[in-house]
């Protein structure tokens, strides 16, 4: 797509552009420092998909990919150091970051890495990197970024329950995790959750179809260690207000050993934020509100004009305790902070960042309406939730559009992990001002957010990718499919579970009535359709039992009528499923009891008129049913019992 001073690339529907990191030409790997460790999946599945003709080997393609990435890094003892870990059933270090400081030596050692085979213990690979590689004795440096790049072709299947916890633990120790998934066997949610914030496709985790297409990612992955040092945001103009929760729950979860103070960790997070933006009267101005039962303005936007003064003022902030009145704090922000009297500028973007560890507890019904009012006034709203006590729905509704996790609202597992989201939220806040160093970005209908480097007054260079890769539509909301979503190259398709078919919208599923379409039951059986299936019922013994019971009565029409009922006809209409069938059993039983009750009264009258010899006769027949009446009663009992058992057994199977 051509622009007045540059161009950018977009992709056809079903594909997404493979973006490069948003950095400009002034930053080069030759002047960069990083401690990089590759974590390679060496499980059986890697070579299981090798071609039968032996034309290539997936394991060697994987090693060649790592070697090509390393060749593009500024490898050296004082610049980029490289380590390698591989894993299958267990994980092991291949070499540490202080073993080789030359690209040629590293290439030789990478290509000689042995293949293991076995299970896929992803958690073990992350654990070895965290606990063994990133140590002083293995070459880790305190003042250098730790970057781990995990490459796998499937979901973890060994020690699965620890995969995400190990990743969270590593990230909490400032290890930046990037993940690459190969093949359609990848579980994208796991790949995303392992990666660092903001956990975005083509930014923190990457997908490729097979080992042969892995090479398309070489330049992109090689750019990851080439990050700019110093402040994240070097240019920009905005009026920014922190709104910080100072309620009792913050210190309630302090560790019992006093190892750290949650309130101090929040203050440190805000201080680190300020260190990464340009603070001045003509750039970023900072205001601060704290709240518990009520909200207080700590300082206004025109109080401080340099970074150090703001940092010192934040450090002196007292802790309150008590409840959480987020609504009052948001109202105070747009009514009192963003005013010209208190430093708000008409030509600067207004940004507010709400930091809380829980849901509003006071004036809760006004929290979201107040946030909506702030957005209506043009204030860009970000929200940060800490611990699982923070309610994601409230955080999302407070934030500005598009209200996406790790873009407009953020969630930190605990206070210790707050700094993990720092780089992302600073970057988002900075880009919302329209500028970040030599970079400027804009939203486009064709490719979403695209960014450019300013090279001179009339020329800008695009820093977005030029390669289109398949977009996995199934990852988001199951592709809109009700049952099964299958990703395809440049597209996807929905399918249904057995017993269902796709409806006209090709997404939702409707039940198949097998009784009508398949006629699956044998002759003499009745078919009952169920959701996703059906059941066959044999002819009901109860009908014969009722006919026998009515044999002596002048109700032959009823007997014939009942015996003539068929499940496909009258009864299937009455059943309306399993519940109606059970009700039918009850009705039949009640009819039989009514008939027997009537006959009992007649018999009683007859017995009263007979002589006393009937007693002996009744004793004789009590052990052996010989009379027509008793034979009929026995038949009734057997019929009802058999019908109930037969129907109950089949319904139980359903």
Q: Are 647 and 540 in contact (CB under 8 A)?
A: yes
- Mean pLDDT taken over the chain: 80
Q: What's the rounded mean pLDDT across residues 313-321?
A: 94
Q: Are residues 549 and 625 in the same domain?
A: yes
H or E stretch at 469 = strand 467-470
What are the residues whose beta carbons fall under 8 Å from the beta carbon of 86, sequence distance 6 or more?
39, 40, 41, 42, 92, 94, 113, 116, 125
Where does a domain end: 484, 511, 538? 511
pLDDT computed for residue 383 by the predictor = 96
HEC assignment per residue over 258-296:
CCCCHHHHHHHHHHHHHHCCCECCCCEEEEEEEECCCEE
Domain that residue 504 falls in: 475-511
Establish if 353 belongs to a structural domain. yes
Is 17 inside any structural domain? no
Please give the helix or strand (H or E) that residue 541 lies within, else none. helix 541-549
Picking from 419, 435, 451, the residue at the C-terminal end of a domain is 435
Residues 251 and 357 in one domain: yes
Residue 641: per-residue pLDDT? 44
pLDDT, residue 222, reads 86
| Band of residue 615 on the pLDDT scale cut at 50, 70, 90 | very low
Distance CA 183, CA 205 (A): 14
Strand ranges across the sheet with 284-291: 295-299, 284-291, 238-245, 349-356, 379-386, 409-412
Number of domains in the chain: 4
205 and 242 together in one domain: no
Residue 453 is assigned to a structural domain of this protein: no
Which pLDDT value is given to residue 454?
63
**Same domain assignment for residues 528 and 647:** yes
Q: What is the mean pLDDT of residues 128-151?
A: 93
CA pair distance 262, 249, nearest whole angstrom: 10
Residue 549, pLDDT above cutoff 70: no
| pLDDT of 25 over the 80 cut | no
Can you tell me whether residue 297 is helix, strand or coil? Answer: strand
Q: Are residues 208 and 318 in the same domain?
A: no
In a domain, 1, yes or no: no
pLDDT of residue 569: 41
User: Residue 619: what pLDDT?
Assistant: 43
**How many Å apart are CA 473 and CA 39, to the nearest integer?**
27
**Residue 356: CB atoms within 10 Å:** 29
Cα distance between residue 321 and residue 496, in whole Å: 53
Same domain flag for 158 and 193: yes
CA-based nearest residue to 187, from 237, 230, 153: 153
Q: What is the pLDDT of residues 428-472, one digit of tens each?
A: 888 766 544 455 555 566 665 566 666 665 667 776 666 677 777
Q: What percent of the chain has pLDDT over 90?
A: 47
Peptide bond into 402 cis (omega under 30): yes
Q: Is the predicted pLDDT of residue 47 greater than 90, yes or no?
A: yes
CA angle 385, 388, 393 (to 5 degrees): 60
For residues 419 and 328, the model is more confident at 328
**Pair 198, 260 in one domain:** no
Give the CATH number, domain containing residue 490: 2.10.25.10
How much is the average pLDDT of 406-432? 82
State phi, psi for 169 to the nearest 5 degrees.
-65, -40
Domain annotation covers residue 586: yes
Instruction: Locate 48 and state its tokens.
Output: 């299981």
pLDDT at site 644: 43
What is the DSSP secondary-structure string of 606-625?
HHHHS-TTHHHHHHHHHHS-
Q: Which residues of 186-219 are buried (b: 16+ CB within 10 A; e: fewer)?
A: bebebbbbbbbbbbbbbbbbbbbeebebbebbbb
**CA–CA gap between residue 312 and residue 309 (Å, rounded):** 5
**Read out DSSP for 2-66?**
B-SS-B-----TTEEEEPPPS--TT--GGG--EEEEEEEE-SHHHHHT--TT-S--HHHHHHHHH
Burial of 275 (0-12, 13-18, 19+ CB in 10 A): middle
* Residue predicted with more confidence, 388 or 41: 41
Lowest pLDDT segment from 140-149, 181-190, 293-302, 435-444: 435-444
Question: Do 53 and 181 lie in a common domain?
Answer: yes
Contacts of 377 (CB under 8 A, 6+ apart): 334, 338, 350
* Range name among 316-320, 338-342, 514-518, 544-548 with the lowest pLDDT average: 544-548
pLDDT at residue 195, as a whole number: 93
* Residue 232, in any domain of the structure: no
**pLDDT tens digits, residue range 189-239?**
999 999 988 888 888 899 998 999 898 888 788 888 865 445 667 778 899
Whether residue 501 is found in the same domain as residue 529: no
Q: Look at 12 and 504; give whichever has higher pLDDT.
A: 504
pLDDT, one tens digit per residue, over 372-410 is 999 999 999 999 999 888 889 999 999 998 888 888 899
Residue 108's CATH number: 3.40.50.410
Which pLDDT band, with edges at 50, 70 and 90, does 523 fall under? confident
**β-pair partners for 75:** 80
Q: Where are the alpha helices (H) located in 564-613, listed in sequence order?
A: 572-575, 578-609
- Asked whether residue 172 is domain-assigned, the answer is yes
Dist CA 203 CA 314 (whole Å): 32
Question: Which of 8-22, 65-79, 429-443, 608-622 shows the lowest mean pLDDT across its residues?
Answer: 608-622
Domain boundary among 511, 531, 556: 511
Residues 383 and 528 in one domain: no
Confidence check: pLDDT of 5 > 80: no
State whether 170 and 67 are in the same domain: yes
In a shared domain, residues 529 and 637: yes
- 3-class SS letters over 373-388: HHHHCCEEEEEEEECC
Identify whether 450 is part of a domain. no
The per-residue pLDDT for 625 is: 45
pTM of the model: 0.50
Least confident of 64-73, 123-132, 510-519, 626-635: 626-635
Determine the average pLDDT of the residues in 469-483. Answer: 78
Over pLDDT 70: what percentage of the chain? 73
Q: pLDDT tens digits, residue range 578-591?
A: 445 455 545 545 55
Find the mean pLDDT for residues 331-357: 95
Residue 407 has what pLDDT?
83
């Amino acid at each position: 797509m051509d622009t007045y001073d540059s161009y950018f690339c977009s992709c056809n529907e079903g594909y997404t552009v493979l973006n490069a990191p948003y950095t400009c030409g002034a930053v080069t790997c030759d002047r960069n420092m990083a401690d990089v460790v590759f974590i390679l999946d060496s499980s059986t599945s890697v070579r299981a998909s090798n071609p039968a003709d032996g034309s290539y080997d997936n394991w060697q393609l994987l090693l060649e990919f790592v070697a090509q990435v390393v060749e593009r890094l500024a490898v050296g003892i004082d610049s980029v150091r490289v380590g390698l870990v591989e894993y299958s059933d267990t994980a092991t270090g291949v070499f540490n970051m202080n073993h080789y400081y030359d690209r040629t030596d590293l290439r030789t050692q990478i290509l000689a890495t042995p293949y293991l085979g076995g299970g896929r213990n992803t958690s073990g690979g992350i654990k070895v990197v965290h606990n063994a590689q990133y140590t002083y004795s293995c070459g880790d440096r305190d003042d250098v970024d730790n970057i781990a790049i995990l490459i796998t072709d499937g979901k973890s299947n060994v020690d699965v329950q620890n995969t995400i916890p190990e990743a969270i633990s590593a990230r909490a120790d400032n290890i930046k995790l990037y993940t690459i998934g190969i093949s359609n066997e990848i579980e994208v949610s796991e790949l995303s959750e392992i990666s660092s914030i903001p956990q975005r496709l083509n930014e923190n985790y990457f997908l490729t179809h097979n080992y042969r297409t892995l090479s398309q990612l070489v330049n992109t992955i090689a750019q990851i260690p080439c990050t700019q040092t110093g402040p994240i945001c070097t240019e920009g103009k905005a009026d920014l207000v922190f709104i910080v929760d100072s309620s009792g729950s913050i210190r309630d979860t302090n560790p019992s050993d006093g190892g750290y103070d949650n309130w101090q960790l929040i203050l440190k997070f805000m201080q680190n934020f300020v260190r990464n933006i340009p603070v001045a009267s003509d750039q970023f101005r900072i205001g601060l509100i704290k709240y518990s039962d009520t909200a207080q303005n700590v300082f206004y936007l025109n109080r401080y004009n340099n970074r150090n003064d703001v940092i010192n003022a934040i450090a002196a902030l007292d802790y309150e305790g008590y409840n959480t009145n987020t609504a009052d704090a948001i109202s105070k922000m747009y009514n009192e902070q963003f005013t010209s009297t208190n430093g708000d500028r008409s030509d600067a973007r207004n940004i507010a960042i709400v930091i809380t560890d829980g849901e509003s507890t006071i004036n809760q019904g006004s929290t979201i309406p107040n946030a909506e009012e702030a957005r209506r006034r043009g204030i860009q709203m970000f929200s940060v939730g800490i611990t699982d006590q923070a309610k994601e729905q409230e955080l999302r509704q407070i934030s500005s559009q598009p209200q996406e996790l790790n873009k407009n609202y953020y969630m930190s597992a605990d206070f210790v992990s707050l700094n993990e989201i720092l780089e992302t939220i600073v970057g988002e806040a900075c880009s919302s001002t329209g500028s970040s160093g030599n970079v400027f970005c804009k939203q486009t209908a064709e490719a979403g957010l695209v960014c450019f480097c300013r090279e001179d007054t009339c020329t800008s260079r695009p820093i977005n990718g030029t390669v289109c890769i398949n977009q996995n539509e199934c990852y988001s909301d199951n592709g809109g499919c009700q049952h099964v979503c299958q990703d395809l190259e440049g597209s996807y398709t929905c399918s249904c579970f057995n017993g269902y078919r796709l409806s006209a919208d090709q997404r939702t599923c409707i039940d198949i009535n097998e009784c009508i379409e398949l006629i699956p039951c044998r002759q003499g059986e009745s078919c009952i359709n169920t959701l996703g299936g059906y059941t066959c019922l044999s002819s009901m013994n109860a009908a014969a039992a009722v006919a026998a019971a009515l044999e002596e009565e002048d109700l032959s029409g009823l007997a014939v009528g009942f015996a003539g009922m068929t499940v496909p006809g009258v009864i299937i209409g009455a059943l309306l499923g399993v519940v109606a069938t059970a009700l039918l059993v009850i009705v039949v039983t009640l009819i039989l009891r009514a008939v027997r009750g009537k006959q009992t009264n007649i018999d009683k009258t007859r017995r009263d008129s007979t002589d006393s010899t009937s007693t002996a006769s009744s004793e004789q027949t009590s052990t052996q049913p010989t009379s027509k009446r008793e034979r009929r009663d026995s038949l009734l009992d057997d019929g009802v019992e058999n019908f109930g058992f037969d129907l109950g057994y089949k319904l139980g199977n359903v």
